[in-house]
Amino acid sequence: MTQSTSVFNVFSGLPLGITELTGEDNKKFLQGQLTCDLDKLSPRQSVLGAHCDAKGKMLAVLRLVQLEHTVLALQVLENVEPHLPSLKKYAVFSKVDISNASAKYHCTGLTGRAALAWADTLSEHPLSDEQDTIVTQYGLISSFPLMNDDTPRLLIVATEQQQVALTSALSELEVSRLGEDEWFALDNLSGTPQISPAIDAQFVPQMLNMQMINGISFNKGCYIGQETVARMHFRGLNKRAMFIVRSSSHIEADAGDSLERQIGENWRNAGTVISVSQLGEQTIICGVLPSDIELDSQLRLKDSDTLLSLSAPAYFK
């Protein structure tokens, strides 16, 4: 392999959860379960969707990729096992096998234009808007549609054997090694929605901006929770959205914590923490707040003295 002089970032050993769905009905089964259109899923194209309960409240946010005839559903690791019973509930009526395959695959993140250029050398078909996923000797590589700037962001899902080859290949390149904290900070900075056990069955998909990032199909037909999701959309009932909330210092916060907004001299409940990451001394939070909130609003965690700044994800524009 030719030595590269361009540096890109590598995030090894990412603790992401993967649910594996096999069987001839796997995509048909998911079509009746998720908010996204499974007809758009292929080995060349990933899809993002939510799994809801009958009331339209989210149980999981899933990034779906197809590896030959197998569908892999990626989400936060801590939610895989709690989510499995809900996903398997109606599987008995379909030819599909569903299992937690998190230990079977390795996840590696890459960022930078040099990373995209390197990935494009591994396939006859470069990554693009029409093809966001390629299968290579180092595993399945999928590009992220959500970014907080124009820096490409890729995720590699590899088997054990592929991971050995990937590690060897990356050792020959000039790369910068970063960790999971920086990767998950990129999730929050880009406004990537996620559901963890602390906040499951609390929010409809629109409250986590799923309609803004092609996570909901409004013409695919029925799925669990579809009536509520469609009503929120067509009647304009949703008044909440997910924003990025930051502190310049390290503060303790967890999913499900309350966010407060200052009104006059008082503080009033404003919303809920969805996810938290630390980047150096900074704390970066995704939180659900009123969709019409002013971006110069004074925010804090409940009973905290630290003021938080507020911004909207780039895809709001």
The CATH number for 152's domain is 3.30.70.1630
CATH code, 243: 2.40.30.160
Number of domains in the chain: 3
* 306 lies in some domain: yes
* 258 lies in some domain: yes
* 299 lies in some domain: yes
| Cα-to-chain-centroid distance, residue 227 | 24
Quick one: 111 and 169 in the same domain? yes
Asked if residue 28 lies in contact with residue 94, where contact means CB atoms within 8 angstroms, the answer is yes
In the chain (317 residues long), the average pLDDT of successive 10-residue segments reads 63 97 98 98 97 98 97 98 97 96 98 95 92 97 88 96 97 94 96 98 98 96 96 96 96 97 95 96 97 97 95 93
What's the one-letter identity of residue 78? E
Last residue of a domain, one of 119, 144, 178: 178
* 288 lies in some domain: yes
* 185 lies in some domain: no
Quick one: 145 and 251 in the same domain? no
Quick one: 117 and 81 in the same domain? no
* 307 lies in some domain: yes
Q: For 31-79, how does the pLDDT look when each residue is reduced to its tens digit (9 = 90+)?
A: 999 999 999 999 999 999 999 999 999 999 999 999 999 999 999 999 9
Q: How many CB atoms lie within 10 A of CB 14?
A: 18
Quick one: 265 and 284 in the same domain? yes
Quick one: 171 and 226 in the same domain? no
CATH code, 81: 3.30.70.1400
Quick one: 54 and 134 in the same domain? no
| Confidence (pTM) | 0.95
Last residue of a domain, one of 151, 178, 205: 178
Quick one: 136 and 173 in the same domain? yes
Full residue range of the structural domain in which residue 61 is found: 16-100
Q: Which residues contact 219 (CB under 8 A, 6 or more apart)?
A: none
Asked if residue 248 lies in contact with residue 281, where contact means CB atoms within 8 angstroms, the answer is yes
